[in-house]
A and B are shown apart, each in its own frame.
Chain A
């Protein structure tokens, strides 16, 4: 694979960069917008070099106003453009929440399908990088609750590349959560592969004893958990959801019917989180297959803590293993 000209070893952030570059090259209607996305290339350098090559009218540095970024992107989409906007950090999306929820999500339905909203909202999200307040949150459930939006989160470089292509090509608004603690993780990206459907979950490790479900930054952790559990003779399956809305319940169901146990892992607070939705629906679908209640591992119902406490707050190897043990003990 490494010999192929179309296969590159890229960090996840660079994979998104290359994906944006490809979209800008392919479709003159694609625009990149956000705070600091131009000369600086974004605070995580995800848009590095794009303004230099595509100009200030395609890669647009914006005023510091998140509602303005999303609101003007809606207007540009109405004019026929396909804006990809960057919200600098997860905790800064809330000034734009009104535009996303009341306008972006509803425009297609309100217009009885007459207008499309091909807007991608990129949000670097999640913790684990020692950041200050409002720089480490996982607000995906707040968006998933809203009809009209699609919510995705890649866990690796290849998915980051291809899911971004698919998000930009979608006529629906896509909230694209980027796992910022995985930005620097490298992986193989085949830029000529034909990607699977955007919303299909992927089994990243086959197993028989229990299913671990995760997305974004927690997929790698769950793979580590499965490796550690294997040393104890436990054979765990790991499912990378890739998409939070729609959610691929069929793939979860298939896995759970095989393993009969399910643990859902995400960084966001457990209460009213995506794990709750998965637990409820899988209980409905697989009640007679389950050997144990669906367990969840995630954040607490507390503000995201200062960086020195985030390892206590975030799901780590031991907390997930503990949940695995509890599920297996039934």
Chain B
């Protein structure tokens, strides 16, 4: 899908608007973290209707060229991502994965933003960006290695310009900023996008990345998926102002987009990426969404949040919303959904089989790639380990007692 090339280009805003935000939601009161609706850029209602208003006019042109085929592509991406995610959750329950961080409910934020990217853009994810990885062409089975415990990464970051998942909260926003500074130094017109959550917005590294990116006018888009909960801590425990408004204090625009509206996420991200490419510096996009599942499979959200809350968000489901729109617009027939269902099941099967077939790493992988240039201590300990391993062979061969190896 070549969604980038379909984006309508608009004239530059006046220079005076650089530090003043986008004109979106500037009238919102501080402390209104929960009254999100009036601030949201939305193009598709939960009922699947296209909506036009003063707030979204600036962004709607970025999806003006989206075709019915593009819409079906976005729908397919979201369905397959959700199917993959469900399979991974099941695999964790079956003991095949040590942990899983589900993206259930955040498909629109990830597919919308992910499909706004060009191949030469670079993505810095946190650890829940399975949908973005999908958009980048990372094989979903590669995402599971770290959760199964066979590696700490599992893909070549430069293969798809998709960096490894980062577990320490917010660290990657600085890597994205530095990478973007490098892009600018190279004179390239690609952009960088950093994903993080509402909890990460409290981290110092995120604040520092805002500072650095603003000071150096780095071509980076900060894409915050505000899914309302940082494990058991609600957004109110992170901030007293809507998160997108934080950007203003750093001197770049912030926008809150309906994170369950894939079209709005696509439009707003394209707009932000265009700003980056045009040398207008960073942008903060707050995708207002909801984590439908647990933080990870270790978590129990029933201990800290009410069923009604989840139910209210189920009504805003990103996939259902686009399906309603596709059906109402006669952009699909039953065959499309049936084929996609079959494709989903095939993906689930492939993922399941791939995980079960995933070999444990070689024992000596412990010592591999600790250093690029090598290190005497690693060499020494590898040799000790080898001798220890070897002692078991000796034991079975000659009947030596265990525990004599290693020296």
- A residues contacting B by CB (< 8 A) are 57, 62-63, 65, 67-68, 70-81, 95, 98-99, 102-103, 106, 108-117, 147-148, 150, 170-172, 199, 245-249
Contacts and interface: CB of A to CB of B under 8 A. Distances in A.
Contact of B171 (A62, A63, A65, A102): A102
A65 B211 contact: yes
Contacts of B163: 78
B36 to A, nearest CB: 30
A276 to B, nearest CB: 15
Contacts of A108: 369-372
A99 B174 contact: yes
Contact of B369 (A70, A78, A112, A150): A112
B212 A72 contact: yes
Interface of B: 124, 151-153, 156-158, 163-164, 166, 168, 171, 173-183, 185-186, 204-205, 208-209, 211-212, 215, 368-373, 375-378
B178 A78 contact: yes
B164 A76 contact: no
Given A116-B372, A245-B377, A75 B204 contact: no
A78 B171 contact: no
A71 B158 contact: no
23 contacts: A68-B174, A68-B177, A68-B212, A71-B173, A71-B205, A71-B208, A72-B209, A72-B212, A75-B179, A76-B178, A78-B178, A79-B183, A98-B205, A102-B168, A103-B175, A108-B370, A109-B368, A110-B164, A111-B153, A111-B164, A114-B156, A148-B371, A170-B373
Contacts of A72: 174-175, 177-178, 181, 209, 212
Nearest to A73: B178
Contacts, number: 141
A150 B375 CA distance: 8
Given A171-B373, A199-B376, A78 B212 contact: no
Contacts of A171: 372-373
Contacts of B178: 71-79
Contacts of B211: 63, 65, 68
Given A68-B208, A76-B179, A98-B168, A111 B370 contact: no
A114 B377 CA distance: 22
Given A62-B212, A63-B212, A79-B183, A71 B373 contact: no
A99 to B, nearest CB: 7
Given A72-B174, A111-B164, A115-B158, A147 B370 contact: yes
Nearest to A63: B211
A115 B208 contact: no
B371 A78 contact: no
